């Protein structure tokens, strides 16, 4: 496609990666900020990703990760294998889902049934973060990321907050009833973006890339 | 979710594919609505994708294609391999660039003052489409697509119109001076999205370039 100004100025390459399979994923718990570790399958997914990235000679200047175990363990495996510095940033943690954290869907339906209508400022799980709160935190996380100099960054985080980071980047506002678009992130799937600060130009190069392993679906 | 393989589909499932390499791409001129055929390389790219999808058992209910030659030549081997008819949708044509069509990028990039392709309301090349013109056309495309019955659709089109279709899906509007985000469609890149009428929700399932498919083939 036509690019009017092929920019030579330094730019950012940003890879947004979701963590590998966690105990919460495998057992079907609502997770939020409840701290589940990776399962052996999750570790295997990260290793498949690393084999692929080594073959493709992928490297990063810095890895920024959520401090929650499922993300930080994913990030540590990558940081070690690729010899890249790792920094934890709590702004990249998953949504606080309030009373829903650690519950199975059937328990969740009893403890904090989802209202028929939810406005975007309404707390999830009664005491958790609303869609707007998550959006504001995602915006702050992107802002912190761009305070770093241009370079190649890997963000290791979670499906919910990564979706709202996409909203902040693309200019999509949170909607009622979670009806905004949803960007799928399978475990260890990643999205690739570039950002040219001299033009304030974001480009999306890939979404939900998990060519290193096949998604199992019922 | 693998493309085009769900059973008992209760939603709209769309794969938006950009055409293979055209002569215009290979020679570096601005095509817009000029009819430029696929290059030799483009012809083999399209044939390889058709073979690949056939081998993977990918199916679609309908194939909807831009009227421009480079899109039709991309769709043709796919339609043949998967046993489908090609439906032509004029709204899927590439952006009109007016008098700039057919000119080399090298020349266009030297014009002073630089041509602003992304100004929301300026008709590019005097008689071409503005970003808002193109966005409105993409909205019409989208309305037509969602009016169709639930099912799996392959849409073969072009970089600029597909970008604005993504805008219409995500709820982004054109902004001035190149500030809007870009979805980088290489030749044969495709975006895979679903729309669920019941929840009113779009899901972006994947966006991949041919490089990534090659990777996938290596990995098995």
Smallest Cβ distance to B208: which of A6, A201, A209? A209
Q: A161: part of which helix (H) or strand (E)?
A: helix A159-170
The answer, yes or no, to whether residue A217 has pLDDT greater than 60, is no
The answer, yes or no, to whether residue B6 has pLDDT greater than 70, is no
Quick check: B171 and B200 in contact, CB under 8 A? no
> What average pLDDT does chain B have?
91
For helices A40-55 and B210-219, the axis angle rounded to 10 degrees is 120
pLDDT at residue B217 in the model: 38
CB contact A202 to B (< 8 Å): yes
CA-nearest residue to B216 within chain A is A211
Q: How confident is the model at residue B178 (pLDDT cuts 50, 70, 90)?
A: low
Does ipTM exceed 0.85? Answer: yes
The answer, yes or no, to whether residue B46 has pLDDT greater than 90, is yes
pLDDT at residue B4 in the model: 55
Whole-angstrom distance between the N-terminal and C-terminal Cα of chain B? 16
Three-state secondary structure call for residue A76: helix
Q: A194: part of which helix (H) or strand (E)?
A: strand A190-196
Smallest Cβ distance to B215: which of A2, A52, A191? A52
Top residue of A48, A179, A205, A210 to mutate, by most chain B CBs within 10 Å, is A205
Number of domains in chain B: 1
Smallest Cβ distance to B1: which of A173, A180, A217? A217
Residue pLDDT, tens place only, A66-125: 999 999 999 999 999 999 999 999 999 999 999 999 999 999 999 988 899 999 999 999
Residue pLDDT, tens place only, B203-212: 999 999 877 6
Quick check: B1 and B205 in contact, CB under 8 A? yes
CB contact A212 to B (< 8 Å): yes
Rounded to whole angstroms, the Cα distance separating A62 from A31 reads: 27
Smallest Cβ distance to A206: which of B169, B180, B207? B207
pLDDT at residue B47 in the model: 96
Q: Do A206 and B199 touch (CB under 8 A)?
A: no
Please count the CA atoms within 13 angstroms of the CA of A21 that sit on its side-chain side: 18
Say which residues have a Cβ less than 8 Å from residue A129's Cβ, sequence separation at least 6. A95, A96, A97, A98, A123, A137
Q: Å from B112 to nearest chain A CA?
A: 13
**Structure-token match 């895979």, residue found:** B192
pLDDT at residue A131 in the model: 97
Rounded to whole angstroms, the Cα distance separating B63 from B197 reads: 21
Taking residues B37-49, report their average pLDDT: 96
Residue pLDDT, tens place only, A188-213: 999 999 999 998 999 999 999 998 98
Closest CA to B50 of B25, B73, B24, B26: B73
Provide the CATH number for the domain around residue B148.
3.40.50.1240
The answer, yes or no, to whether residue B17 has pLDDT greater than 60, is yes
Q: Do A52 and B30 touch (CB under 8 A)?
A: no
Three-class HEC string of chain B: CCCCCCCCCCCEEEEEEECCCEHHHHHCECCCCCCCCECHHHHHHHHHHHHHHHHHCCCCCEEEECCCHHHHHHHHHHHHHHCCCEEECHHHCCCCCHHHCCCEHHHHCCCCCCCCCCCCCCCCCCCCCCHHHHHHHHHHHHHHHHHCCCEEEEEEECHHHHHHHHHHHHCCCCCCCCCCCEECCCCCCEEEEEEECCCCEEEEEEEECHHHHHHHHHHC
User: What domain range includes position B117?
Assistant: 12-219
Name every chain B residue with its beta carbon within 8 A of the beta carbon of A2.
Answer: 30, 105, 117, 159-160
The active-site residue, picked from B19, B89, B129, B192, is: B19
- What does pTM read for this prediction? 0.91
Closest CA to A105 of A24, A201, A19: A24
Annotated active-site residue B158? The verdict is no
Buried b or exposed e, range A151-187, using 16+ CB within 10 angstroms? ebbbbbbbbbbbbbbbbbbbbbebbebbebbbbbbbb
Q: How confident is the model at residue B214 (pLDDT cuts 50, 70, 90)?
A: low
Name every chain A residue with its beta carbon within 8 A of the beta carbon of B196.
Answer: none
DSSP assigned state of A157:
E
Q: Å from A186 to nearest chain B CA?
A: 9
Taking residues A40-65, report their average pLDDT: 97
The listed CATH number (3.30.70.2970, 3.40.50.1240, 3.40.190.10, 1.10.579.10) that belongs to domain A12-193+201-209: 3.40.50.1240
Name every chain A residue with its beta carbon within 8 A of the beta carbon of B182.
Answer: 1, 201-204
B40: its two tokens: 């030799």
Asked whether residue B68 is assigned to any structural domain, the reply reads yes
Closest CA to A18 of A89, A128, A101, A92: A92
Name every chain B residue with its beta carbon within 8 A of the beta carbon of A173.
Answer: 171
Taking residues A37-56, report their average pLDDT: 97
Asked whether residue B4 is assigned to any structural domain, the reply reads no
Taking residues B174-193, report their average pLDDT: 89
Name every chain B residue with its beta carbon within 8 A of the beta carbon of A9.
Answer: none
Annotated active-site residue B40? The verdict is no
The answer, yes or no, to whether residue A2 has pLDDT greater than 50, is no
**Structure-token match 């019941």, residue found:** B198
Asked whether residue B78 is assigned to any structural domain, the reply reads yes
A133: its two tokens: 């709160």
Q: How confident is the model at residue B8 (pLDDT cuts 50, 70, 90)?
A: low
Specify the range with the lowest mean pLDDT, choosing from A154-168, B87-101, B177-191. B177-191
pLDDT at residue A213 in the model: 83
Taking residues B16-42, report their average pLDDT: 97
CA-nearest residue to A5 within chain B is B109
């Amino acid at each position: 496609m036509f690019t009017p100004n092929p920019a030579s100025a330094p730019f950012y390459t940003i890879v947004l990666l979701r963590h590998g399979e966690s105990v919460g994923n495998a057992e079907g718990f609502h997770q939020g900020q409840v701290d589940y570790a990776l399962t052996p399958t999750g570790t295997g997914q990260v290793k498949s990703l690393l084999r692929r990235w080594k073959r493709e000679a992928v490297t990063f200047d810095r890895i920024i990760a959520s401090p929650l175990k499922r993300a930080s363990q994913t990030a540590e495996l990558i940081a070690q294998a690729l010899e890249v510095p790792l920094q934890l940033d709590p702004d990249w943690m998953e949504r606080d889902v309030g009373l829903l954290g650690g519950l199975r869907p059937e328990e969740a339906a009893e403890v904090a049934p989802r209202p028929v209508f939810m406005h975007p400022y309404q707390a999830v799980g009664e005491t958790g973060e609303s869609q707007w709160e998550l959006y504001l935190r995602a915006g702050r996380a992107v802002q912190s990321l761009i305070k770093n100099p241009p370079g190649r960054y890997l963000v290791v985080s979670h499906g919910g907050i990564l979706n709202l980071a996409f909203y902040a980047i693309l200019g999509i506002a949170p909607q009622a009833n979670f009806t905004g678009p949803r960007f799928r992130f399978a475990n260890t799937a990643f999205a690739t973006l570039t950002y040219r600060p001299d033009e304030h130009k974001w480009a999306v190069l890939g979404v939900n890339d998990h060519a290193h392993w096949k998604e199992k679906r019922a | 979710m693998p493309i085009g393989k769900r059973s008992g589909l209760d939603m709209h499932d769309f794969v938006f594919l950009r055409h293979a390499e055209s002569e215009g791409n290979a020679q570096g001129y601005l095509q817009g609505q000029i009819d430029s055929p696929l290059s030799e390389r483009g012809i083999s790219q399209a044939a390889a994708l058709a073979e690949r999808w056939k081998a993977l058992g990918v199916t679609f209910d309908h194939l909807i294609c831009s009227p421009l030659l480079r899109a039709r030549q991309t769709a043709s081997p796919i339609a043949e391999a998967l046993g489908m008819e090609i439906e032509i949708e004029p709204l899927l044509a590439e952006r009109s660039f007016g008098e700039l069509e057919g000119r080399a990028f090298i020349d266009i990039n030297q014009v002073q003052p630089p041509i602003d392709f992304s100004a929301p309301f300026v008709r590019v090349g005097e008689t071409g489409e503005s970003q808002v013109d193109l966005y409105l056309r993409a909205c019409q495309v989208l309305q037509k697509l969602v009016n169709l019955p639930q099912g799996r659709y392959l849409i073969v089109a072009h970089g600029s119109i597909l970008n604005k279709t993504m805008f219409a899906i995500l709820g982004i509007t054109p902004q001035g001076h190149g500030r809007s985000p870009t979805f980088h469609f290489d030749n044969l890149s495709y975006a895979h999205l679903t729309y669920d009428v019941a929840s009113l929700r779009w899901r972006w399932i994947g966006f991949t370039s041919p490089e990534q498919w090659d990777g996938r083939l290596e990995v098995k």
